[in-house]
Structure 1
Amino acid sequence: MTDPITDDTSRALRTAWFDYLDTIEPFRPALHAYGLKLTGDVWDAEDLVQDTLLKGFAMIGRGDLHGPGSPVADPKAYLFRTATNLWIDRVRRASRERAWLGEPQAPTPPSDPDAARQGAEALFSAASPQARAAVVLKDVFDFTLEEIADQLRTTVGGVKSALHRGRAALAAAPSDPPRRDGPSQALVERFIAAFNSRDVPTLTAVLTETCSIEVPGVGGGRGRRGGWAEASVGHAGARLEAGVYRDEPVVLFFNEDDRLYDIVRLEGDGDLVSRITNYCYCPDTLKAVAAALGLEVSLLGYHQPPQVLTRMIATTTLPWGEGMKLH
């Protein structure tokens, strides 16, 4: 059977995707800030942005931008509405999963500071996702009540009620998001040592056979023998250091000017790396993490044009290689 996805089709889709990123780029910082306010976590915010952009790409690509009642006539409003709906669905799904697992939905009264922090976080989480979104849309991004009603698919009266509930919950919640588990410090240090050895077998040996390499918004690869290790050892300009962001060990990439230009998060399977997530084309996330760590940042932007990125992969100027597949 002939493969329906030809090279020409793939190139056309990549070009359309990057053209789309260029078009919506002015909205990206605000969209990321919105995701950060909703989720309280920079990584979850980036995930929400990426999911929103993918859905927007499909809708804008097949919709009439200027027809009567077009949902994408106002691209910024559409992206915010999409992010809101995706996040509300995610929260509801997580709540259903907790209920199915029999986990408690409300905290017991706290008796110490750490428990009080957890209780406040749970209190804000217990507020409806619509209430949380309404507060952020009104108080942070200054949307009108009518615009928020459209975002949340409710009435102006419903928005006012949601704002009242959400502000009360938000006032009791701490500004810091809950901590998350990450890879062991030993695994991060082993990964860095293998990279710095510039030895392909050593670096390959740190990865599982099915290790996935993900570059949000651009592409990724799979497998320890997909070319990633070969490209990595050839990237002479990179200096890697272990870092800790919100108690999670991460890998920091510095250029020759000692500026942070990439952050890599690892997931482990025992003492091997099973997943690499590379945030070099997520400038809003990079800036947020760099600010928290007190580092200067050198941004690559949201993406590189396909022909530039392909050339960079071929000449190993970035720390991934021939195994990378562009979406």
Structure 2
Amino acid sequence: MDDSVFESRGPFDARYLAFLETIPQLRPRLHRYCARMTGSVMDGEDIVQETLFQAYRKLETFDDTRDLTPWLFRIAHNRCIDLLRRRKVRQQAEATAIQPEVYLPPDPAEPIPPQSIEHLVLALAPRERACVLLKDVFDYSLEEIAALIDSTIGAVKAALSRGRSKLASLPRQPAAPRIRKPESSRLLHLYVERFNLRDWDGIRELATADARLLVADRYTGPLTSAPYFDRYQRSTTPWRMATGTVDGQPVIITLHQHNGQWAPHSIIRAEIEDDRIVRVVDYLHCPWVLAAAASADIDPSWRAAAAV
């Protein structure tokens, strides 16, 4: 292609190229932040996808003299807050966090490693959670944090102080696993059993007629008529499904076989209402989602099923 033709396309192409170059390096960090803000590696990835879609739509109006990274983090942060509002977590947390914004130096006696902070911050109100993550895990400056969360440096200092003090007083123990409803557990096991048997019509029977499918980074549309099952049928990589939990959440775990060994590769989330599947989200093309989880446990019965 003639370089002059490419150059004549204007500044939008430069923004687009910068966007494409930034995303691969930034995406794991963006997902890590969203996962810790929401308390779910899957919700975190959903927010990252929404963030990238929203940013792409607004790219034409973006000031290309600015850095893309804080802009994307700010979009993601706002979407995290929206999700927390929908869960009604923010309302409950902020009720106990309304205090004068006075900066108190954090107690340096027992610093908490960043890896531990990531899995303790759910005990904090959203603003404290964001400030602690951005400062102590992602190493942003106070000025950058204030700009990112649309606040002041004084407010950031106060939230950071409160958050660190609360974290220092927390017991170092894992969160209790979420309680699974018996009917949901039964449905997930049926889904896995039929998937492993390649019984695609049997899987469709478990879903509502208008069930939706999202294959992250690849496809969105109706589940029952999607080419989704055919892709698994023709896959050249040996795979199996198993029920399990990721960070305490019930999920379906996709395992791939390499050199005779089965290993977890990715996650599938099935959303259930009235004992029917209404939505499936497959993170097959986003292996970093599973890698970011603090814990992943596979139902031991899968080995017996795999041997059949």
Instruction: Confirm or deny a common fold (TM above 0.5).
Output: yes
**Within 5 Å, which residues of 2 pair with 1:310-325?**
none
Instruction: Tell me which of 127, 131, 140 is aligned to 2:128.
Output: 131
Given residue 202 of structure 1, which amino acid in structure 2 is its aligned partner?
A: G
Q: Which has the higher contact order (CA 8 A, sep 6+)?
A: 1
The Cα of 1:265 is off from its aligned counterpart by 1.3
Cα pair 1:215 1:278 within 8 Å, conserved: yes
1:282 equivalent in alignment to 2:286:
yes
Q: Distance in 2 between matches of 1:222 and 1:209?
A: 9
The Cα of 1:31 is off from its aligned counterpart by 1.2
**Within 5 Å, which residues of 2 pair with 1:177-326?**
179-180=177-178, 184-235=184-235, 237-257=238-258, 258-289=262-293, 292-293=295-296
Given residue 225 of structure 2, which amino acid in structure 1 is its aligned partner?
A: R
The Cα of 1:264 is off from its aligned counterpart by 0.8
1:147 equivalent in alignment to 2:148:
no
- Number of residue pairs matched? 254
The Cα of 1:227 is off from its aligned counterpart by 3.8
The Cα of 1:81 is off from its aligned counterpart by 2.0
The Cα of 1:59 is off from its aligned counterpart by 2.7
Please report the TM-score for the alignment, with normalisation by the length of structure 2.
Answer: 0.69
Q: Distance in 2 between matches of 1:270 and 1:132?
A: 34
Q: 1:158 to 1:62 in 2, by over 3 A?
A: same
Cα pair 1:149 1:159 within 8 Å, conserved: yes
Alignment partner of 1:255: what SS? strand
Alignment partner of 1:256: what SS? strand
Please report the TM-score for the alignment, with normalisation by the length of structure 1.
Answer: 0.65
Identity of aligned residues (%): 33
For 2:36, the equivalent position in structure 1 comes to 37
The Cα of 1:247 is off from its aligned counterpart by 3.8
Q: Distance in 2 between matches of 1:97 and 1:40?
A: 13
Gap runs ≥5 in structure 1: 1-15, 67-72, 107-120, 296-327
Q: Distance in 2 between matches of 1:52 and 1:19?
A: 16
Cα pair 2:247 2:296 within 8 Å, conserved: no
Given residue 284 of structure 1, which amino acid in structure 2 is its aligned partner?
A: W
Given residue 170 of structure 1, which amino acid in structure 2 is its aligned partner?
A: L
1:75 equivalent in alignment to 2:65:
no
Alignment partner of 2:192: what SS? helix
The Cα of 1:243 is off from its aligned counterpart by 1.8
Given residue 215 of structure 1, which amino acid in structure 2 is its aligned partner?
A: V
The Cα of 1:17 is off from its aligned counterpart by 8.7
Q: Distance in 1 between matches of 2:21 and 2:199?
A: 37
